[in-house]
Amino acid sequence: MTPAPTVAQIVDHRVFILANTRLQSPPHVPELRLYLADEITPIWRLTEEELDAIGLPPPFWAFAWAGGQALARYLLDNPHEAAGKRAVDFATGSGLVAIAAMKAGAASVLGADIDGFCKAAVEANARENAVAVEFTSLDLLDAAPPRVDLITAGDICYEKPLAARVLAWLKVAHTRGTRVLIGDPGRSYFPREGLAKLAEYQVETTRELEDFAVKRTGVWTFPEES
Extents of the domains making up the chain: 7-61, 65-221
* Contacts of residue 54, Cβ cutoff 8 Å, sequence gap at least 6: 6, 7, 8
CATH fold for the domain made of 65-221: Rossmann fold (3.40.50)
Q: Tell me, yes or no, if the pTM score tops 0.85.
A: yes
**Maximum Cα–Cα distance across the chain:** 56
Say which DSSP state 4 is in: P
Per-residue pLDDT tens listing for the chain (226 residues): 444 444 555 468 899 899 889 999 999 999 999 999 987 778 877 767 777 776 777 788 999 999 999 999 999 999 999 999 999 999 999 999 999 999 999 999 999 999 989 999 999 999 999 999 999 999 999 999 999 999 999 999 988 899 999 999 999 999 999 999 999 998 888 997 899 999 999 998 776 666 667 778 999 999 987 5
pLDDT given for residue 56 in this prediction = 74
